[in-house]
């Protein structure tokens, strides 16, 4: 039943107007989140690089199972800014629309630092590609792998 709900959720996510190639960035040691970037969405404007990021989450108090947002990285200033996005429940329904944030410094050793290093070209992307659909089910499987 859980897999059926995840399959249904994948069909509800908005389709992008461009090709997509979702790549795994990291899975939190705590198994609270798995993070992916759509490498085909990355755009460059001077020292600023932007791309779509998907965070697959353990269900929280608000029923969020995933968050999909554009994120901009100031490659030289080591900062990030999360754009307007949406949080989704396990069924793929939007549970919250998020407003753009302001620029924030990136702390060393965080997932944001890993994202910046990959998006800004300081470090290669991993070899775990998940195709054109946001990898919600795959992310949940990675989180649950720590439970066994």
Q: pLDDT tens across 4-36, in order?
A: 334 334 434 444 445 699 999 998 877 789 999
CA distance 57 to 140: 8
pTM of the predicted model, to two decimals? 0.81
Residue 47 makes CB contacts below 8 A (sequence gap 6+) with 74, 75, 76, 77
Give the pLDDT score at 63. 77
CA distance 85 to 90: 17
User: H/E element holding 21?
Assistant: none
Structural domains of the chain, count: 1
Give the pLDDT score at 7. 39
By residue range, what is the domain housing residue 118?
A: 2-145
Q: What is the pLDDT of residues 41-88, one digit of tens each?
A: 999 999 999 999 999 998 776 778 999 999 999 999 999 999 999 999
CATH classification of the domain holding 36: 2.40.128
């Amino acid at each position: 039943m859980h897999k059926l709900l995840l399959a249904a959720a994948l069909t509800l996510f908005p389709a992008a107007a461009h090709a997509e190639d979702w790549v795994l960035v990291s899975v939190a040691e705590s198994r609270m989140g798995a993070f992916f970037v759509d490498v085909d969405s990355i755009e460059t404007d001077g020292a600023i690089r932007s791309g779509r990021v998907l965070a697959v989450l353990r269900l929280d108090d608000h029923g969020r199972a995933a968050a999909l947002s554009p994120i901009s990285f100031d490659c030289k200033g080591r900062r990030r800014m999360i754009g307007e996005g949406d949080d989704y429940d396990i069924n793929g329904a939007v549970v919250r629309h998020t407003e753009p944030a302001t620029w924030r410094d990136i702390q060393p050793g965080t997932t944001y630092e890993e994202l910046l290093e990959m998006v800004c070209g300081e470090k290669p992307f991993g070899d775990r590609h998940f195709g054109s659909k946001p990898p919600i089910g795959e992310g949940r499987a990675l989180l649950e792998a720590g439970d066994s």
